[in-house]
Structure formats: C-alpha cells, structure tokens
Structure 1
Amino acid sequence: MATKRWTCSRTTVYNIGYHLIWCPKYRRKVLEEHIQNRLRELLLEKAYEIGITIEKMEVLPDHVHLFVKSPPTASPHWIVQQLKGYSSRILRQEFPELKSRLPTLWTRSYYCESVGHISQKSVEKYIEQQKNV
C-alpha cells in the first residue's frame, strides 16, 4: 500500500483516489470469514494486475469498502467492473454455496466518490485567482 502523495508516469503526475463501495445481491450477508479472506486476496491480485493500488480495504458481511489510487487512464466504472467481475467469477467457482444462494454475487450498483488531498474550495479559489496573474 503506497504512501507517496503523487504518482509519476512518463507524461503525467497525478494523485487520483476513489472511495468505492458495493454489496452482494440483495445485501445478503454472505461475505463470511473464509470468503472474506479469499475476497481480499482476489481484490489485491486483480488491483495489481490492472495497475491500481488498494490503499485501504474493509470487507464486511454485506458490503465492501475500498480506497483505491489509480492512474488517470482508469475510470472508476472500469475499476469496479474489473474487481467485481473477477472476484465474482472466482468466488462462485471456489464456494458453490454462493451459487445456490444468489443468482449473481454482486449488485449492479456501486458507490464512488473521488478523494483528493486538495479540497474543492481550494481548487475553485486557485482557478479564480488565475485571472489575476
């Protein structure tokens, strides 16, 4: 889990973070201890594969919270799609009880909020001050 504020690529310096939340279908409490542990492993594995960093993760019985940092080329929708799709496929293969309890593991919906070091007010003030320079 990264600690630097900025990430640099060849052409970009960025600090993009998202708070993501999603739930199992019908908000069922199916993410019990053995499934929780495997889900954590799968999410970290997929995050590494797609080039994002999971800064903080909390898996509760009926929902998942993530704070991720990503490059500007990865949209929040794509990130959630990758994480949910991969984890659902593997978990349903490894834990057949999930197939019998739910038609799909995850709901279609999710929550996303961008998180940054600088507040909206600070950015607005900075942009407003630019016309006086």
Structure 2
Amino acid sequence: MAYHFLRIPKYRKYLLNAYVKTELSNIIKEIAQQFGFEILASEVMPDHVHLFLSAPPKYSPAEIIKIVKGTTARKLRTKFPTLRNSKHLWTDSYFVATHGNVSAETIRRYIEECQNL
C-alpha cells in the first residue's frame, strides 16, 4: 500500500529549519529501512512534512504514523536541545490518503512542487 502523510509540528510552529530538516530526513530513511517501508517522495517544509511511502500491508496507516512520530520526536529532541522545551513536537492529528484515485506520479509531483514555495 502507498500512503501520502502530512504531519505538522504542534501549534504549526516553524521548527523545521535546515539543520532539523536534514536530520529529520535521515531519521525517516532509517525508519523506512528498519520497517521495510519504501519512501516514494518526501519534503520537509518549515511548518509541515509530506511523506509519500509504500508499506507492507501488515502496517496500518495509524501504526506507520505512530512509528514515524515517536521515533522522529525522540531522536530530534536528543540531537537538538531547543526542541526539548516543547512538551509535544508533533500534533496528535495527521492527514493520510491512500494511493488510488490519483497516480503515484501526481502525488510525487505535488510534493516536489511544494519545495518551490
């Protein structure tokens, strides 16, 4: 299954600067390798993250986002002391859409176009 996730930091704060962006991307790659996910496209913006990935059917979207949310929050707080000040790094909510009505290329193109905003 392929999923398009959208995550935002708590209170939509602009926490995801260039240093955090690089580390967050690396952490997401590690998670994908560990759990057998395939990253089809991703983009980290200052106030949100797009993640388009394919995962084995044994993982529900809720499980995937729980893994990503928990692991990234823990590792980012360890690496960046300024992020320890906030009680929660990510909001409880998220957007997810399955690959189906639109092609994978359409989603990939949408995420890539967000890079130029």
Short-chain TM bin? 0.7 to 0.9
Q: Distance in 1 between matches of 2:102 and 2:57?
A: 17
Q: Distance in 2 between matches of 1:87 and 1:75?
A: 18
Q: Distance in 1 between matches of 2:102 and 2:4?
A: 15
- Tell me how large the CA RMSD over aligned residues is: 1.5
Q: Distance in 1 between matches of 2:37 and 2:51?
A: 12
TM-score by length of structure 2 reads 0.84
Question: Structure 1 pair 118/98, CA: closer, same or farther in 2 (3 Å)?
Answer: closer
If you compute each CA radius of gyration, which structure gives the higher value, 1 or 2? 1
Runs ≥4 residues deviating over 6 A? none
1:92 and 2:77 matched: yes
* Residue 118 (structure 1) shift: 7.7
Q: Looking at both structures, which has the greater relative contact order when contacts are Cα pairs under 8 Å and sequence separation is at least 6?
A: 2
Q: Which structure features the higher share of helix residues?
A: 2
Question: Structure 1 pair 26/117, CA: closer, same or farther in 2 (3 Å)?
Answer: closer
Structure 2 counterparts to residues 107-122 of structure 1, below 5 A: 107-116=91-100
Partner SS state of residue 19, structure 1: strand
Query: Could you list the runs of 5+ residues in structure 2 that have no partner in the other structure?
Result: 104-117
Quote the sequence identity (%): 40
- Alignment correspondent of 1:105: 89
